[in-house]
Amino acid sequence: MKPLVVESLFYTYPDGTQALRGVSFALTAGQNVALVGPNGSGKSTLLLHLNGLLEAERGTLEVGGQPLKPQNMDFVRRYVGLVFQNPEDQLFMPTVQEDVAFGPQNLGLAGTELTNRVRECLEVVGLEPARFLERPCFNLSLGEKKRVALAGVLAMQPEVLVLDEPSAGLDPRGRRRLIRLLQDFPQTKLIATHDLDLALETCSETILLERGLVITSGPTSQLLRDRVLLETHGLELPLSLQG
């Protein structure tokens, strides 16, 4: 079973902007896939569909073998964990503990099971629970906020992890730590990013999106070496391959 199947997805914003114009792709279990493309190519819009936050105008979406329908939404939200680009949008509870607990609480977890889940997830993202549980969310550095946001999504134990620009705004050390985390996570991952070096290090496959269309997809190591293709579509070779 493929954890995520997208078929001919169309979406137009209320102002008439056509964001997706027939996007199709599928992820196989355990696969790490990068979604690259210039600004305005429809990456973030596509990601919002995968969690049922935007309703497709046309096309079908299958999550964990089930079609995306309002009746399946509980399952979909648990199955696909979406990490937003700006952690300020995601961390809304006053303290780290409460924010990481928000998702599992919505799944019905409570008591020591909930506390343990929160602690485990903070440890997974490298934040010491003793130091961070009681910290107010607004008082964290951007790197810490990003990791708390990730912990909040991991706490729902998703099968598919969808990340929107995970390395944006991180310093080199924070970025390196993120790459290591992404390499360690066992989940199937779809990572929308402009950081092509990150894509090269973490993803085996890459999908190139432009103006709401999948231009091409294939092994990252081949696709991200194709200078002509990348430059034609508003990108450039990853720094590590520029020699």
Site for another protein, rule CB under 8 A = 48, 51, 53, 74, 77-78, 81-82, 84, 86, 88-95, 98, 101-103, 105-107, 110-111, 134, 136-139, 152-153, 156
Nearest one of 186, 196, 217 to 6, comparing CA atoms: 217
Task: Report in angstroms how near the CB of residue 88 gets to another protein at its nearest.
Answer: 6
Alpha helices in 54-195 (DSSP H): 73-79, 87-90, 96-106, 111-124, 129-132, 142-154, 172-184
Task: Report in angstroms how near the CB of residue 98 gets to another protein at its nearest.
Answer: 7
**Nearest residue (CB) to another protein, 94 versus 219:** 94
Alpha helices in the chain (DSSP H): 43-50, 73-79, 87-90, 96-106, 111-124, 129-132, 142-154, 172-184, 196-202, 220-223, 227-232
**Nearest residue (CB) to another protein, 107 versus 215:** 107
CB of 142 closer than 8 Å to CB of 87: yes
Task: Report in angstroms how near the CB of residue 141 gets to another protein at its nearest.
Answer: 13
**Nearest residue (CB) to another protein, 93 versus 181:** 93
**Nearest residue (CB) to another protein, 41 versus 51:** 51
Task: Report in angstroms how near the CB of residue 124 gets to another protein at its nearest.
Answer: 17
